[in-house]
C-alpha cells in the first residue's frame, strides 16, 4: 500500500522515482510500475463523447468573462500558421470541447495579466524581418477582444499590413457574423480565421493547422468581400 504523504515542505511533485497521486482526497507518493489507477470507464467514455457547448448568438460577452489574462506567449515559432510567427495564447474559453488541446487555458483566471511591457515585447519581436506575423489562440481570442483588439490595432498602426494576423476560434464563421460588435470588429481586422470547435470524433492530426476536419482555414478579407466563406488559397490538406 502506498504511504500517506507526511512531508509538509514545498517541493516538486516527484520524489525520487515515485509519482504523486490523489487517493480519496489524500496525497500519496506511489511506485509508477505498481500503481494502477481505478478509472471509471463509463464516466470517462461519457465525458469524451459529449459535444462542445453551443451558445446562442451574443450569449457570451467578453466583458462578462475576460480577465485580460494571458496563458502563454511563444515568439518565433513555426507551428501556429504560415511562416515564422509570434503566438499569444489568451486565457479563457467556454466551448468546453472534449479533447481540448489546452485545458488549463479554458480558465479565464489562468496565467498572467496582459501588460504594456508584454505588448512592447511582442511589437519588438514582430519587427524582426523574418517574422511573418502574429497568431492569436488560447483559450478563446473572441472572448478576449479587449486584449486582442488592443494588440491588433497597435500592430496595424506600427506595421500596417506588412505583418499578417491569424486567429483560431471555437466560433464558426457563420456564428461570428451574428455576434457582438467587438467580435465582428476583431474579425474584420484579421487576415486568417481558423474556425469551429474541436470535435473529437472528427479528429485528424494530418490536417494543416487544424485538429478536426470541421475546422476551416478562412481568408477573412476575401470572405468579407464575397459575403461567403473563402478558404485560404494555400490550403494543402
Residue 25 to residues 5, 12, 21, 28, 39, Cα–Cα distance (Å): 12, 19, 10, 9, 16
173 is an interface residue for ligand SF4 by CB under 6 A: no
Asked if residue 31 lies in contact with residue 18, where contact means CB atoms within 8 angstroms, the answer is: yes
86 is an interface residue for ligand SF4 by CB under 6 A: no
- Least distance to ligand SF4 from the beta carbon of 94, Å? 7
Q: State the Cα–Cα distance between residues 205 and 29, nearest whole angstrom.
A: 35
Residue with cell 478558404: 231
Sign of the dihedral through C-alpha 179, 183, 188, 194: negative
111 is an interface residue for ligand SF4 by CB under 6 A: no
Q: Residue 196: name the closest of 231, 170, 217, 167 by CA.
A: 170
106 is an interface residue for ligand SF4 by CB under 6 A: yes
From 56-64, 95-103, 151-159, 220-228, give the range in contact with ligand SF4 by CB under 6 A. 95-103
Please say which residue, 60 or 198, places its beta carbon nearer to ligand SF4: 198
Exactly one of 21, 102, 121, 185 binds ligand SF4 (CB under 6 A); that residue is 102
Exactly one of 72, 80, 82, 140 binds ligand SF4 (CB under 6 A); that residue is 140
Exactly one of 71, 86, 100, 193 binds ligand SF4 (CB under 6 A); that residue is 100
Q: How many CA atoms lie within 13 A of 16 on its CB side?
A: 3
- Least distance to ligand SF4 from the beta carbon of 83, Å? 22
- Least distance to ligand SF4 from the beta carbon of 201, Å? 14
Cα 61 versus chain centre, distance:
17
Q: Which residues bind ligand SF4 (CB under 6 A)?
A: 52, 93, 95-97, 100-102, 106, 138-140, 170, 197-198
Amino acid at each position: 500500500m502506498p504511504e500517506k504523504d507526511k512531508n509538509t515542505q514545498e517541493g516538486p511533485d516527484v520524489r525520487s522515482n515515485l509519482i504523486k497521486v490523489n487517493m480519496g482526497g489524500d496525497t500519496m507518493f506511489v511506485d509508477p510500475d505498481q500503481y494502477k489507477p481505478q478509472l471509471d470507464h463509463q464516466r470517462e467514455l461519457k465525458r469524451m463523447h459529449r459535444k462542445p457547448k453551443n451558445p446562442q448568438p451574443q450569449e457570451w460577452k467578453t466583458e462578462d468573462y475576460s480577465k485580460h489574462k494571458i496563458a502563454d506567449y511563444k515568439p518565433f515559432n513555426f507551428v501556429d500558421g504560415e511562416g515564422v510567427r509570434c503566438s499569444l495564447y489568451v486565457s479563457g474559453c467556454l466551448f468546453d470541447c472534449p479533447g481540448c488541446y489546452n485545458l488549463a487555458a479554458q480558465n479565464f483566471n489562468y496565467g498572467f495579466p496582459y501588460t504594456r511591457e508584454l505588448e512592447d515585447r511582442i511589437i519588438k519581436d514582430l519587427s524582426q524581418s523574418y517574422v511573418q506575423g502574429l497568431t492569436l489562440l488560447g483559450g478563446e481570442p473572441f472572448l478576449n477582444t479587449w486584449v486582442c483588439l488592443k494588440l491588433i490595432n497597435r500592430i496595424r498602426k506600427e506595421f500596417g499590413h506588412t505583418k499578417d494576423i491569424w486567429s483560431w476560434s471555437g466560433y464558426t464563421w457563420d456564428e461570428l457574423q451574428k455576434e457582438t460588435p467587438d467580435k465582428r470588429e476583431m474579425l474584420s481586422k484579421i487576415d486568417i480565421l481558423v474556425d469551429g470547435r474541436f470535435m473529437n470524433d472528427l479528429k485528424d492530426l494530418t490536417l494543416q493547422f487544424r485538429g478536426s476536419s470541421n475546422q476551416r482555414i478562412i481568408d477573412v478579407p476575401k470572405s468579407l468581400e464575397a459575403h461567403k466563406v473563402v478558404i485560404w488559397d494555400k490550403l494543402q490538406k
